[in-house]
Every structure is written in structure tokens, then in C-alpha cells.
């Protein structure tokens, strides 16, 4: 039997650009200013992977106008402008990233370009089954990922944060 895949935490935040900021300016900021600086800090604290998914109006409209059959009745096309995902082994690694003084300095200007009051966050794990056009992580018709009961324990190595609610407002 093939070895099982490592399951790690995937923490994501879905954000909107601030009113009055163009999608192009937002992309320029997040891609050429924020991401290169953040990557250094995130790697310093053990991030395994970080990605940005940009969702400009033109691509959201693609589903509504050119592929309407993809969106079933009752479904909503997510309208966030960007989703940033960070893969880590423990929540302490994520806490170390967001509380790092360099990261705090970096995000201090984000409220000029990002709507910091309207953010959605998600936590989970990722399972990949096609990569570079090839089927991966499947053997003999079965997933190589551990069963649910094991995957759901992905955060078990984490301990409760001692950051207070007041301190968290500044993160």
C-alpha cells in the first residue's frame, strides 16, 4: 500500500477591495507589493504554501454570462476580489506569521486598499487529485489521503492562543 498523504491546515481569507480602488491597482498591490514581502515572513515561520486567487469582475461574469449552466439554481457566484490561502502544520505557525512585527508593519497599510471590515475566513485541509493535468494521489481507485476521522485531527497539534480579543483586533 502506498504511503498516505500528509494533511495540513489550510487557512484562507476572502477579501474585498476597498471602494474606489480599481481591480488593476488592487492586483498590482497584492501581487507586486504585498505577496513578495509576505512570502519572506511566511516562509520564516514554516508556511508550506501560500496562494492568491484573484477574482476580478470579468471572471465572475464569465460564469454568469458565458457558463450559466455551471451555476445551478440557488447557487451564488462568490464575489470576493481575492482569496489568500496559507498552508501550515499548526495554528501556532499561523499565529507566528500574523503577529510577526514585520508582517504587522506590512499589513498596516492594507486598510487603504482592502475592506478590512468585510472579510470571510475559512479553515480546512486540501486534497489534490489532478496536478499538471495528471491524476495524482489515487491508487487502485482509492484516495491516498487518510480517512476523515484522521484528517479532522489536523489541528490537534495546535494549542489555544493566548492572544486576547483586544490584541486580535490589531492583527
> How far apart are the C-alpha atoms of 49 and 124, rounded to whole Å?
14
Q: What is the mean pLDDT of the chain?
A: 88
169 pLDDT higher than 60: no
- pLDDT at residue 34 in the model: 96
44 pLDDT higher than 90: yes
40 pLDDT higher than 90: yes
- pLDDT at residue 3 in the model: 56
81 pLDDT higher than 80: yes
Neighbour tally for 15: CB within 10 Å: 21
* Average pLDDT estimate for 6-22: 94
39 pLDDT higher than 90: yes
164 pLDDT higher than 70: no
Instruction: Label residue 167 by pLDDT band (50, 70, 90).
Output: low
Q: How many domains does the chain have?
A: 1
Domain that holds residue 53: 9-168
168 pLDDT higher than 90: no
Residue 15 lies in a domain: yes
Q: How far is CA 99 from CA 13, 49, 63, 148, in A?
A: 16, 18, 38, 31
* Average pLDDT estimate for 100-127: 93
Residue 4 lies in a domain: no
* Average pLDDT estimate for 105-111: 91
Q: Read off the CATH number of the domain in which 74 is found.
A: 3.30.70.100
Residue 100 lies in a domain: yes
Phi/psi of residue 22, each to 5°?
Answer: -75, 155
Residue 18 lies in a domain: yes
Q: Is the dihedral of CA 79, 86, 150, 142 positive or negative?
A: positive
Residue 49 lies in a domain: yes
Residue 2 lies in a domain: no
Residue 34 lies in a domain: yes
Phi-psi region of 90 (alpha: psi -120 to 50; beta: other; left: phi over 0): beta
* Average pLDDT estimate for 119-143: 94
Residue 120 lies in a domain: yes
Amino acid at each position: 500500500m502506498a504511503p498516505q498523504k500528509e494533511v495540513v491546515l489550510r487557512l484562507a481569507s476572502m477579501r474585498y477591495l476597498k471602494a474606489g480602488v480599481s481591480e488593476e491597482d488592487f492586483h498590482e498591490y497584492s501581487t507586486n507589493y504585498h505577496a513578495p514581502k509576505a512570502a519572506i515572513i511566511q516562509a520564516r515561520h514554516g508556511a508550506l504554501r501560500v496562494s492568491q486567487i484573484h477574482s476580478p469582475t470579468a471572471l465572475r461574469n464569465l460564469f454568469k454570462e458565458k457558463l450559466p449552466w455551471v451555476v445551478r439554481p440557488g447557487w451564488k457566484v462568490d464575489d470576493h476580489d481575492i482569496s489568500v490561502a496559507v498552508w501550515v502544520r499548526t495554528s501556532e505557525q499561523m499565529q507566528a506569521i500574523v503577529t510577526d512585527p514585520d508582517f504587522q508593519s506590512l499589513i498596516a497599510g492594507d486598510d487603504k486598499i482592502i475592506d478590512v471590515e468585510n472579510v470571510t475566513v475559512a479553515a480546512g485541509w486540501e486534497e489534490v487529485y489532478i496536478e499538471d493535468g495528471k491524476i495524482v494521489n489515487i491508487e487502485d481507485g482509492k484516495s491516498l489521503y487518510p480517512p476523515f476521522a484522521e484528517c479532522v485531527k489536523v489541528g490537534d497539534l495546535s494549542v489555544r492562543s493566548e492572544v486576547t480579543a483586544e490584541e486580535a483586533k490589531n492583527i
